[in-house]
């Protein structure tokens, strides 16, 4: 287990917008994560979110072409809300501290977790940003992506555009079919060099929600499974975007209200409240 980031890793993350942490999980921990995540995913029976009837592959109103996007990955959100085992993994303060250290913030809340499984022959994940989808606007928001299978050039490992995190904005909510769509919004990166992040199972990466990133198609007959979690720095407020917030909660929110509901966005680590 490798639950610590040092000053050089923090610097690299803030400069490049991503960081790979090799051997994040020990072999035993990896076995436990796989079993826990698979159990939670199977119990969902394809239901994408806890509070909506949507199935993986259905149109979610954000992506216009369900048939295509259903074959990018199976996407199951907020497994922590429906599974005690996943909740325990996601509430691990050590991971919260890694995220807080990398972002350079005091407190970290879960925005949402997300199992992302590329099935055999899955479509690629087009270049995109994450933060513009979300209901808060913070340049320091970030995600962890944990490889449950080896993520390879062949089966759909992640790619990043280094440094894009320091230039992109909250513009561009879309993730289209065309890999180059994002460069219509950010032409300054059209000639940038991308970096691949192949990872052994049990390794992880962190990326800023404003780093341009994507993934290959799965050119193999095997699965590429990842467990991820998006993090919101503590202290953020509602920006008016619904994203995945449940209707019942949305009805109570006005633009500018604090997003501090523990049932939706739990604080998993805070520098002054947790000593680890």
Ligand X SMILES: O=C(O)CCC(=O)C(=O)O
Residue 41: φ, ψ to 5°: -65, -45
The residues with which 109 forms a beta bridge, in sequence order, are 232, 267
CB of 272 to ligand X, least distance (A): 29
Q: Which is nearer to ligand X, 127 or 238 (CB)?
A: 127
Instruction: Return the residues of window 145-174 that contact ligand X according to CB under 6 A.
Output: 145, 156
The tokens describing 186, both together, are: 């950010």
Instruction: Map residues 114-133 to x or -, x wherever contact with Fe ion holds by CB under 5 A.
Output: ----------------x---
* DSSP string computed for 180-218: TTHHHH-GGGTTPPPEEE-B-TT-EEEEETTS-EEE---
Could you say whether residue 130 binds ligand X (CB under 6 A)?
yes
Query: CB under 8 Å to 246, separation ≥6 — which residues?
Result: 51, 52, 264
Could you say whether residue 149 binds Fe ion (CB under 5 A)?
no
Query: CB under 8 Å to 189, separation ≥6 — which residues?
Result: 161, 164, 167, 182, 183, 212
The tokens describing 101, both together, are: 């250290």
Number of residues near Fe ion (by CB under 5 A) = 1
Residue 228 contact, options Fe ion, ligand X, none, Cβ 5-8 Å cut-off depending on partner type? ligand X
Could you say whether residue 134 binds ligand X (CB under 6 A)?
no
CB of 130 to ligand X, least distance (A): 5
What's the distance, Cα to Cα, between the start and end of the chain in Å?
Answer: 15
Residue 210 contact, options ligand X, Fe ion, none, Cβ 5-8 Å cut-off depending on partner type? none
CB of 248 to ligand X, least distance (A): 26
Query: Alpha-carbon distance 157 to 215, whole Å?
Result: 6
Instruction: Map residues 95-114 to x or -, x wherever contact with ligand X holds by CB under 6 A.
Output: --------------------
Residue 116 contact, options ligand X, Fe ion, none, Cβ 5-8 Å cut-off depending on partner type? ligand X
Could you say whether residue 228 binds ligand X (CB under 6 A)?
yes
Could you say whether residue 208 binds ligand X (CB under 6 A)?
no
Could you say whether residue 18 binds ligand X (CB under 6 A)?
no
* Half-sphere CA count of 210, side-chain side, radius 13 A: 22
Q: Which is nearer to ligand X, 116 or 268 (CB)?
A: 116
Indicate which single residue of 77, 108, 182, 215 sits in contact with ligand X (rule: CB under 6 A). Answer: 215
The tokens describing 260, both together, are: 């501090």
Q: Is 52 exposed, middle or buried (0-12, 13-18, 19+ CB in 10 A)?
A: middle
Which residue ranges make up the site for ligand X (CB under 6 A)?
Answer: 73, 116, 125, 130, 143, 145, 156, 213, 215, 226, 228
């Amino acid at each position: 287990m490798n639950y610590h980031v040092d000053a050089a890793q923090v610097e690299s993350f803030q400069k490049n917008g991503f960081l790979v942490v090799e051997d994040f999980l020990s072999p035993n921990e990896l076995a436990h994560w796989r079993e826990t995540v698979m159990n939670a995913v199977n119990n969902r029976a394809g239901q994408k979110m806890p509070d909506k009837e949507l199935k993986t592959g259905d149109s979610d109103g954000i992506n216009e072409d369900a048939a295509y996007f259903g074959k990018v990955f199976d996407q199951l959100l907020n497994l922590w809300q429906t599974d005690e085992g996943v909740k325990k993994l996601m509430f691990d303060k050590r991971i919260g501290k890694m995220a807080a250290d990398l972002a350079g913030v005091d407190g970290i809340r879960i925005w949402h977790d997300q199992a992302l499984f590329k099935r055999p022959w899955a479509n690629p994940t087009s270049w995109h940003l994450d933060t513009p989808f979300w209901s808060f606007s913070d340049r320091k928001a970030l995600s962890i992506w944990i490889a449950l299978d080896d993520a390879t050039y062949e089966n759909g490992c992640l790619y990043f555009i280094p440094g894009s995190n320091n230039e992109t904005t909250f513009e561009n909510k879309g993730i289209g079919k065309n890999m180059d769509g994002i460069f219509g919004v950010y032409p300054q990166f059209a000639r940038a060099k991308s970096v691949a992040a192949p990872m052994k199972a049990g390794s992880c990466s962190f990326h800023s929600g404003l780093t341009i990133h994507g993934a290959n198609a799965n050119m193999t007959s095997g699965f590429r499974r990842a467990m991820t979690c998006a993090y919101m720095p503590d202290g953020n407020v509602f920006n008016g975007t619904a994203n995945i917030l449940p209707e019942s909660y949305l009805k109570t929110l006005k633009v500018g209200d604090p997003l501090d509901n523990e049932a939706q966005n739990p604080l998993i680590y805070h520098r002054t409240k947790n000593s680890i």
